[in-house]
Amino acid sequence: MKVHHRKIALTLLAAVVIVTLAAVVLPAWKAEDIPVADPGGDRSPFGVYSPGSLAEVPSSAGASMIEALGLETLADYEEYSVDMIGELGVSWVRIDFLFDGWNFHEPASLASLRQAGFDVVGTARPVSHSTPEDLSRFREELGELVSRYPWIRTWQIGNEPNIKWDPEDYARLFLAGEQVVRERCPGCSVALAGVAARYGGRNEAFGYYQHLLDSIDAGFRGDGDPFDIFDMHYYGTYGSDGEMLELLRKYGSLMEEHGYGGTRFWVTETSTTTGSPSTLPASAAQTEEQQAVELVRRFVTLLGGGAERVAWARPYENYRYHGVDDGYYDHNAIVYNGLGDEEAQGIAAGTRKMAFYAYQTLIAKLEGFSAVEQVEPGQYRFLFDDGRPPVYVAWSAGGRTRLAEPRGTVLVTTVAGDESFTEVSGITLGEKPLILEAAGGPA
């Protein structure tokens, strides 16, 4: 059903007001009141960041997104997003809880996410990029937020501080927040805000986090470590395997230097684009296939380099994100929004990109793996504890075009999802990754 833009815009505004009032006035629902789906064993490392959020798009743009899908309200869009990521097959999501200086804004889809069995990682994210002298309101509201959602077991304080925060200023906010989380949920994990690893240049971002960790070390008064998880955000173009591995090694060494050798590494934001965003040079234009190829190579490289979890940033294209026409976030998702040039091309809202199906296939093939090992550059072996033979993901790297493993006949799956049984000796690796399942047991 078509709905006038003004009506949807008003609905969006009303939804924001209602959420804010609910946080102040209404009693919170209880965790035990929500039935929870059985997640089926250990959590998979595959996730998405910010499904169903329209917090950073203009209200008119959000209204256009909702209308293009034939929906009527923000709540409809959030439910649509929950169903969409369920179809994708991910097991966890990172959700921002925006703090306006007075209250945290809570997505209406939280109950549906929990009911569907998703593991939710909560980011307590101030809208302001400076820390007030008096942090009592932040502490109080964060404590209530953590207590209200006892089933959220990982809390992150802030987001990408190296873009706009002074390091000492962010360190004060982080130390206040981690203390609250430890007190309200002793069994929860605390994540440091993710570094925008390529912002301003890799060296600048790294230098910022060296300074930041010095500030955290100087101010930390608790037992153990101030954080359990280090989060790296990586946005880049096609063919960036080497840079990702280098950055993981550098930040790993930084953790060691500060005595945080047991810190787990996550990548809660990564993506690359289709088409030609207005914010990137024309030379950065990429096809759907290139995005799909990069998605598979990126997840495999990051997991092979030691990341415990990886999430694609924003599964659904955000129209006019931060008010920018045809910008990065209008191209980086794996589902089209059907607006702007896409509407002129006849691409319907909700159309899945090739990368959506490539991610879906990767998850299905690697679900339940217990370890990943690099066999050669561009060649990775995924192992399973349940007796299944290993699964390999491989592409040409460092001039290598032949597989080191396995041997014999294998089931080969391409990024496009095509399958065939092939003799390994007849396979020549190229830039497009292949998923190979050893047909006769472990190699």
DSSP 414-436: -TT--EEEEEGGG----SS-EEE
Confidence (pTM): 0.90
Cis peptide before 406 (omega within 30 of 0): yes
**Domain assignments of the chain as residue spans, ordered by start:** 5-368, 372-438
Q: Which structure tokens are listed for 22?
A: 């609910």
Beta strands in 127-219 (DSSP E): 154-157, 189-192, 195-196
Which of these, 113, 38, 44, 57, lies nearest to 81 by C-alpha position? 113
For residues 209 and 233, the answer to whether their CB atoms sit within 8 Å is no
Contact 436, 403 (CB under 8 A): yes
Q: What are the residues facing 371 on neighbouring strands?
A: 383
| Helix (H/G/I), strand (E/B), else coil: 265 | strand
Residue 380 host element (H or E): strand 379-383
Q: What distance in Å separates the CA atoms of residue 424 and residue 406, rounded to the nearest whole number?
A: 7
CATH number of 5-368: 3.20.20.80
∠ CA 148-155-365, nearest 5°, is 110
Q: What is the mean pLDDT of residues 44-56?
A: 96
Sequence-separated (6 or more) residues with CB below 8 Å from residue 114: 31, 34, 36, 120, 151
Give 439's pLDDT tier (boundaries 50, 70, 90).
Answer: confident
Q: 135-152 pLDDT, tens per residue?
A: 999 999 999 999 999 999
- Per-residue pLDDT of 276-315, as tens digits, reads 999 999 989 999 999 999 999 999 999 999 999 999 999 9
Ranking 171-175, 355-359, 426-430, 436-440 by mean pLDDT, the lowest is 436-440
293 is written with which tokens? 């190829």
Q: Is the pLDDT of residue 39 over 90?
A: no
| The predicted structure's pLDDT at residue 174 | 98
pLDDT tens sequence across 180-193: 999 999 999 999 99
- Summarised one tens digit per residue, pLDDT across range 197-246 is 999 888 999 999 999 999 999 999 988 999 999 999 999 888 889 999 99
User: Which strand (E) or helix (H) includes residue 371?
Assistant: strand 371-376
Q: Are strands 419-423 and 409-413 parallel, antiparallel or unpaired?
A: antiparallel
Q: What number of helices (H) and strands (E) belong to the chain?
A: 12, 16
Tokens of 333: 């998702």
> In this model, does residue 348 exceed pLDDT 70?
yes
Percent of the chain surpassing pLDDT 70: 89
- Calpha distance 314→11 (Å, rounded): 22
User: Which parts of 108-210 are beta strand (E)?
Assistant: 119-126, 154-157, 189-192, 195-196
Q: Are 131 and 215 in contact (CB under 8 A)?
A: no
pLDDT for residue 8 is more than 70:
no
Handedness of CA 159, 231, 180, 210 (dihedral sign): negative
28 DSSP 8-state letter: P
**Helices 354-366/74-88 angle, 10° precision:** 50
